[in-house]
């Protein structure tokens, strides 16, 4: 009888771990997909956050970097290009 319970517990633990990993993988894929859609958006989008009584740029799209020459705070990509 004790052996059957241990087998059931082990099966449950394996199923739980597989579902947890699947959920984590899906969440990561969705995050990556959203990030790519945001970055590749042709519109100049700036994302700010209110901190210490001021607004701070926390992210922007590549189009915003290109138009303003700013530095994206997340990717550290610069809009300034050195011309030769």
pLDDT tens, 17-72?
A: 999 999 999 999 999 998 888 888 899 988 889 988 898 888 888 888 888 877 77
Residue from 76, 45, 74 nearest 61 by CA? 45
Structural element, H or E, at residue 49: strand 46-51
**Are 50 and 65 members of one domain?**
yes
Q: Which domain does 58 fall in, by range?
A: 41-84
Number of domains in the chain: 2
**Are 27 and 46 members of one domain?**
no
**Are 83 and 46 members of one domain?**
yes
pTM: 0.54
**Are 33 and 1 members of one domain?**
yes
Instruction: Report d(CA 64, CA 28) in Å as an integer.
Output: 25
């Amino acid at each position: 009888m004790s052996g059957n319970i241990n087998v059931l517990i082990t099966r449950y633990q394996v199923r739980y771990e597989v579902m947890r990993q699947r959920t984590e993988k899906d969440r990561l894929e969705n995050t990556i997909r959203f990030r790519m859609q945001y970055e590749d958006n042709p519109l100049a989008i700036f994302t700010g956050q209110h901190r210490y009584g001021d607004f701070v740029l926390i992210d922007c799209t590549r189009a915003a970097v290109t138009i303003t020459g700013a530095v994206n705070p997340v990717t550290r990509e610069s809009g300034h290009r050195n011309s030769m």
